[in-house]
Structure 1
Amino acid sequence: MTPPPALTVRPSAPLETDGALARDTLRLMAGKTIAFAVAFALPILLVRRLSQTDFGLYKQVFLLVSTVMTVLPFGFVMSAFYFLPRHPHKQGRVAFNILLFYVILSAVASVVLLGQPAILQGIFHDPRLAALNGPIALVVFTMVGFSFVELLALARADVRTATLLIVVLNLGKSVLFLGAAFVFASFEALVYAAILHGLLQAGLLFWYLTTRFPDVWRGPSWSVMRAQLGYAMPLGTAAILTVIQADLHNYFVAHYFDAASYAIYAVGCFQLPFLSILSDSVGSVMIPAIGRLQLDGKAEDIVRLSARLTRALAAVQFPIYVFLLVAGREFIVVLFTTRYVDSWPIFAVNLTLIPLSLLTSVSDPVLRAYPAYIPWLLRLRLALLGVLIVGAWLATSHLLMLGAIVVMVAVNAADRVALAVVLGRALHVGWRDLGLLRDVGKLAVAAGLAGLATAGAHALVADGRPVIVLATSAAAFGAAYLLAVVLLGVPTADERAVVAARVGDLLRRCGVRPGRLGVGCVRGEESR
């Protein structure tokens, strides 16, 4: 298979410098860090207010909404990343096409739910969900139809506004959901809170369209729509299969087990929002950067940029993965209370997705720059989907919840490894490039050594309160990991200088002269 020919477009803009990319990434990360804190706290507070059955029903409703939000629009908004920079005089038409596509499909889904409430009971086997088909249909319409405002801002390289939108939407969601839970203590109240959040989302979207795309209300452009569909549908189909791979096991468990049991499984499938926020933030900036490199025929630069991305993500994801393998049981108990301690075996298996997400974060921007490989990816995912369906059905029909998560992780591992190998061949990655990943290997070793040290500390305090065990393990792991990273020589000279400067600034603010401690001093202070 050969890479696709270069597209005939106007000359690409100069590639952003690493500094510009870093600033955009950090700005986006700042906003998403706030979103992380909010998203992290929401389920932790909800489990303390809702019964286990109500929490399970809440997770089922928003499993459905999340799946529809990802699957139904075929990732059509991602066409904005391709068409907005290439069609500067048709940006309003591109934006209106996206709005029209999302609204029509979400309206169709809502009408189906209104007319066929038995669908909900057939999927989840709980009559309470079928009785709420009207409000749930409205949630689908508002949360799916107007769900793309921050992505549209990122496609315009409007990182500042995208960051603000992310913060406002996540804070608004948490305020509405927590208010509903603490006042009414029922999952039904959360459904109505979601409707209000969808309306807030719609208002912000219409504000952004009006202020950033003055000609947006001129209506659609059918020729541009066809081009957008041609770009988005293959990618969207691949994304749909990815979501099915990620979510299908949840539907099997929700179908064969009651809501309270599903709550246990859902907690076991808990994913740290910070990791997805980190991956999304970097990916949102890397997609256009790698796209421009591909247009300029700079495959070697794509490889080097991907290697730097892998190193940066590995420095965070490897230690989190190993630490949670050691102290994950206490992590579950502290966050979700002892009612959910049975989630630990499921959580332990699910943690495997953390290192696998490295491959996804690196592969996705490259895949979008080389769309000729998408048909191959579709064939692979269709084959893996068959394996997933059979495996998840066999596990859940025999009431083996743990089996469902094992099948899902195995299928995802096969998908991500195969995709990384194929894209590596497209970029002509060879053994000569292995040195670019030297630090990634060192980071894996550092995390492993820190895990061994932490296991010893964990054993010493294993009989204590879960929060004490977790805190002790975290302190031991943090110290051991940082020491191992330094001893293995992972930080570059520039990175060491940045850390020394920031430590020096912190010490000066605390009234300590850093030169006395050997941290570093400003010129002229050495002899004082």
Structure 2
Amino acid sequence: MTGASLKRGAITLTAANMLDFGLQFLMPIALVRLLPTSAFADYRLAWLAIGTAMAIAPFALPRSLFYFLPRHEGQARAPYVHQTLLMLLLTGALAGLALGPWNPLLPASLRAMHSAAWFMPAFLTLWVAANLIEFLPNARGDVAGQAKTIVALAVLRVVMVAAAAWSGRADVVFGALVAYAAIKVLLVLLHIGRHYGWRVFPLQMPVLRTQLVYCVPFGLASALFLLRGQADQWVAAAMFPAAAFAAFSIGAVIMPVVALVRNSVSNAIAPRLSALESNKDQDGMLRLNQRANLASAYVLLPTLMLTAVLAVHIVTVVYTDKYLLAADVMRINCLALLGVAVEVSTLTVVLNQGRFLLAADGCLLFVSLAAGVTGALLFGIPGAALGNVVTLAAGNAFSFWRVSRVTGVPLRRLQQWGALLRILAACVGAGALAALLDAANLVRIVWLEAVLIGVVFAVAYAVLLKLAGALAEARALFLPQPAAKAASPAPPASPIQKHD
């Protein structure tokens, strides 16, 4: 794949996932108005449990296809896909049973959730396997097909759930979700049958062992990483009333925004990184990661800064002023996410550093729980989010250290730190101006004031990027280049210097 095609792939997947996120962002806004308070609380608690299941049950199996499929051709790929589907069906069923109301370890509010007895086992058995459709096309190099699938399924989900919500009953909404998961499983089956056939048995045990040896460390590490990311929500659910948890969960809405941008970029470059690693092209891997982080920084850093400034406006306009407590939680989460705006976790996967990630995330899970409980006791419900601030920054720092050790490249050379600092400086300057405008309270209409602040921030950000000399790089990353310039030789890249 050329650099241009990688860029198009990353932008295409990010755009599709942004649309998906935008539609899913609208769902709670509609449901909070269509469902009674108790039914909406059940919905939010259900998705906390589902999110926890999705942190564990996939076990890095879908993402392992990015590693194995580029290394094989033709029917040699089929066993990896078939065995992934079978294992996902099994782990999904186990997750559904573990999260039923009969589990005494669950919070009382979750055990009392209406319709939990049938919904969790039925939905998770399908849902864990269904999400394979969000990896299969891209794993075989069909980025455009992956984007179309994401968009079509996002629209279908909104239509089905919104239609069910008109009933005002949580059990009808849960039924629609089960039907939607079944449709996704059907698409998975059709895709596998078309591209890999259905000769599943007998299982190829050497292939299965190879895949599991690769997946187990990453699966455990990924589960621990995602669980510590959800630890604050479990702390809030266990220590505070349901209404407070609802506000806390609203304050965490910024987390999926960052995750979708990072995951879209990572998924787009993962097959290329794997191919570079198999060819022992370490410099190419590092340069690709640097450019991916630079592109993400241009988007994520201003998003986090503007969200922190507009937290009160976002909560008031979108969720009504009954949930203003969520604004402080949202600001804390924006601070926490600065710790992963630039990352090398994709490289740790390609470099097969699963055991290191497992050890680091295992330690940080307990740190996250301790920090969340301590913060909740000292500062109330916003303090429960402090665990994310500590552990996201620490986990990313550990990954940088490990990649530096494995590759022999010093930390100062792992990223384009000068360019990243210029982007951050532009964000801070634009954020300070936006905060001053917010404090001036010039406009009484909340949504209109938010639009005005957003426009001022965007203009100030662009101007400051220009003054900092970072706007040209943004154009090169996101805009197609003229043919004459594209044909001219590129300036030599700065060498990746290694330790002595």
User: Do both share a fold (TM > 0.5)?
Assistant: yes
What is the match of residue 350 of structure 2? Answer: 369
What is the match of residue 178 of structure 1? Answer: 162
| Equivalent of 1:388 in 350, 368, 372 | 368
Question: Partners in 2 of 1:291 and 1:355 — Cα distance?
Answer: 27
Question: Partners in 2 of 1:270 and 1:216 — Cα distance?
Answer: 42
Equivalent residue letter for 2:445 = R
| Equivalent of 1:46 in 17, 31, 36 | 31
Question: Partners in 2 of 1:290 and 1:267 — Cα distance?
Answer: 35
What is the match of residue 120 of structure 2? Answer: 136
Change (3 A) 1:459 1:257: closer
Tell me by how many angstroms 1:283 deviates.
Answer: 0.4
Question: Partners in 2 of 1:33 and 1:400 — Cα distance?
Answer: 32
Question: Partners in 2 of 1:122 and 1:280 — Cα distance?
Answer: 29
Tell me by how many angstroms 1:111 deviates.
Answer: 4.2
2:135 aligns to what SS in structure 1? helix
2:255 touches 2:337 (CA, 8 Å); kept in 1?
Answer: no
What is the match of residue 190 of structure 2? Answer: 207
What is the match of residue 86 of structure 2? Answer: 100
1:287 touches 1:368 (CA, 8 Å); kept in 2?
Answer: no
What is the match of residue 101 of structure 2? Answer: 117
Deviation track 1:120-157 (CA, whole Å, cap 9, x = no partner) reads 78424356416531122211111123221121221111
Question: Partners in 2 of 1:166 and 1:224 — Cα distance?
Answer: 29
What is the match of residue 264 of structure 2? Answer: 281
Q: CA RMSD in A?
A: 2.6
What is the match of residue 526 of structure 1? Answer: none
What is the match of residue 378 of structure 1? Answer: 358
Tell me by how many angstroms 1:498 deviates.
Answer: 8.5
Equivalent residue letter for 1:368 = V
In the alignment, is residue 336 of structure 1 matched against residue 319 of structure 2? yes
2:103 aligns to what SS in structure 1? helix
1:111 touches 1:137 (CA, 8 Å); kept in 2?
Answer: yes
Tell me by how many angstroms 1:403 deviates.
Answer: 2.2
What is the match of residue 5 of structure 2? Answer: 20
Deviation track 1:411-457 (CA, whole Å, cap 9, x = no partner) reads 22211122122213323333763783322111111111111221222
What is the match of residue 449 of structure 2? Answer: 469
What is the match of residue 232 of structure 1? Answer: 215
| Equivalent of 1:188 in 171, 175, 178 | 171
2:232 touches 2:385 (CA, 8 Å); kept in 1?
Answer: yes
Tell me by how many angstroms 1:480 deviates.
Answer: 0.7
Deviation track 1:264-288 (CA, whole Å, cap 9, x = no partner) reads 1111111264433322221012212
What is the match of residue 495 of structure 1? Answer: 475
What is the match of residue 35 of structure 1? Answer: 20
| Equivalent of 2:402 in 411, 419, 422 | 422
Equivalent residue letter for 1:87 = H
What is the match of residue 254 of structure 1? Answer: 237
2:400 touches 2:411 (CA, 8 Å); kept in 1?
Answer: no
The range that moved more, 80-89 or 479-488, is: 80-89
Question: Partners in 1 of 2:139 and 2:71 — Cα distance?
Answer: 11
Structure 2 gap ranges (5+) = 483-500
Change (3 A) 1:400 1:494: closer
Question: Partners in 2 of 1:102 and 1:54 — Cα distance?
Answer: 29
1:117 touches 1:131 (CA, 8 Å); kept in 2?
Answer: no
Equivalent residue letter for 2:94 = V
Change (3 A) 1:501 1:424: closer
Question: Partners in 2 of 1:500 and 1:110 — Cα distance?
Answer: 47
Tell me by how many angstroms 1:27 deviates.
Answer: 2.7
Question: Partners in 2 of 1:498 and 1:409 — Cα distance?
Answer: 30
Equivalent residue letter for 2:459 = A
Change (3 A) 1:434 1:138: closer
**Larger Rg belongs to:** 1
Question: Partners in 2 of 1:58 and 1:287 — Cα distance?
Answer: 34
Equivalent residue letter for 2:101 = P
The range that moved more, 172-181 or 385-394, is: 385-394
Change (3 A) 1:342 1:156: same
| Equivalent of 1:404 in 365, 384, 389 | 384
What is the match of residue 66 of structure 2? Answer: 81
Change (3 A) 1:459 1:399: closer
1:96 touches 1:217 (CA, 8 Å); kept in 2?
Answer: yes
Change (3 A) 1:295 1:70: same
The range that moved more, 204-213 or 434-443, is: 434-443
Change (3 A) 1:33 1:141: same
Question: Partners in 2 of 1:497 and 1:402 — Cα distance?
Answer: 37
1:38 touches 1:170 (CA, 8 Å); kept in 2?
Answer: yes
Tell me by how many angstroms 1:99 deviates.
Answer: 0.9
1:184 aligns to what SS in structure 2? coil
1:458 touches 1:472 (CA, 8 Å); kept in 2?
Answer: no
Equivalences, count: 481
What is the match of residue 440 of structure 2? Answer: 460
| Equivalent of 2:77 in 77, 85, 91 | 91
Question: Partners in 2 of 1:406 and 1:112 — Cα distance?
Answer: 28
1:119 aligns to what SS in structure 2? coil
Equivalent residue letter for 1:450 = A
Deviation track 1:20-39 (CA, whole Å, cap 9, x = no partner) reads 21122233233223213212
Question: Partners in 1 of 2:391 and 2:272 — Cα distance?
Answer: 30
Question: Partners in 2 of 1:245 and 1:459 — Cα distance?
Answer: 35
What is the match of residue 164 of structure 1? Answer: 148
Deviation track 1:31-74 (CA, whole Å, cap 9, x = no partner) reads 22321321222222222323444323211101111221230231
1:52 touches 1:263 (CA, 8 Å); kept in 2?
Answer: no
Deviation track 1:105-130 (CA, whole Å, cap 9, x = no partner) reads 222333455xx633278424356416
